Amino acid sequence: MKIAILPNLNKDNAHAYTVKVIRKVLQLGAEVFLYQEYVDFFNIAEVVFYQDFFQMLQDCDIVITIGGDGTIIHAAKHAALAEKPLLGINLGRVGFVAGMEPDELNCLERLKTGEYHIEKRMMLAVTVEGEKESKTVYALNDAVVSRGSLSRIIDLKVSHNGKEITEYRADGVIFSTPTGSTAYSLSAGGPVIEPLMRCILLTPICSHSLFSRSVLFGEDSRLSVQAAVTDGSELFLTIDGEISIQLTEKDKVHIEAAQMEAELIKLKDKDFYEILNEKLLERRI
């Protein structure tokens, strides 16, 4: 068994905990891979350091991330491209997509015994169609078209399979996967969707329209949105809260189900609704 470990050392206690994970995985007889940028942080002889990040993912069997949801989501997209399953260890505040918590280190033994299952999560392919070129990026949580921080409200036209279906006057609109339904969309009033479902959720942000409810579309849908402003305000496309692309009024954004899927390792028997209840209770404390 070959395991690539991707830690977020900006998290509190992440370095010390990563050392524990490395030691535990080595005890299980696995090989451990780390990216070369961590060579000065981990003086462990058995660890293999890779200069080529993508080659490391190709060579491993399992990816383990140590950090919050953002760390897991970022790494899951790279793991999906390499068709490798990922286990997220939560060192963040919520950890909706994490497979285990820091105090569950012994659960790693299940990687050796095979006592785990893999959840396949739908992703979005998001294409920005400009005047001269098109660019496609991938989202595990969501794609958000919104105004700049100092901009006024924007007008948005949404199409479904090439036919315009509605217009919004709003701060923006969120297109999310079922996995992303518990992220920004939930804060904007959207519903919670079981993550193994396959659909696209559209949720307007602070809509000034009478029609301001979330809308659910089938996985075969191709959605498009074009935004317009009247005062030269800025427009942005944000992918999973980490990639930001500035848009013009002539740009059209297309959203559809991606052909690849993220594979998340689950080591425990808790179902989604148990985890959801626990995490939402933690948020209220």
* Of the candidates 159, 133, 131, 132, the residue with the CA atom closest to the CA atom of residue 145: 159
**Contacts (Cβ under 8 Å, ≥6 apart) of 216:** 191, 193, 199, 200, 201, 202
Q: What's the mean per-residue pLDDT of the chain?
A: 91
Q: What is the predicted pLDDT for the residue at 177?
A: 98
Q: What's the pLDDT band for 285 if we cut at 50, 70, 90?
A: very low
Residues 77-132 pLDDT 10s:
999 999 999 999 999 777 788 999 999 999 999 999 999 999 999 999 999 998 87
Residues 45, 116: Cα–Cα separation, whole Å: 29
Tell whether the model's pLDDT for residue 151 goes beyond 70: no
Q: Which amino acid is at 97?
A: V
CA distance 133 to 251: 10
Q: Which DSSP helix (H) or strand (E) runs through 228?
A: strand 222-228
CA-based max dimension of the chain: 63
Q: Are strands 142-147 and 172-176 parallel, antiparallel or unpaired?
A: antiparallel
In eight-state DSSP terms, residue 100 is: B
Q: pTM for this one?
A: 0.91
The answer to whether 47 touches 62, Cβ cutoff 8 Å, is: no
Element (H, E) at 230: none
**What's the CA gap between 208 and 169, in Å, rounded?**
5
Element (H, E) at 102: none
CA atoms of 213 and 207, how far apart (whole Å)? 9
Q: Which of the following is catalytic: 69, 142, 171, 240?
A: 69
Q: Indicate if 69 belongs to the active site.
A: yes
Give the single-character DSSP code of 242. T
| Structure confidence by residue, pLDDT tens digits, 208-267 | 876 678 999 999 999 999 998 766 678 999 999 999 999 988 999 999 999 999 999 999
Please report which helix (H) or strand (E) contains residue 118, including its range.
Answer: strand 117-129
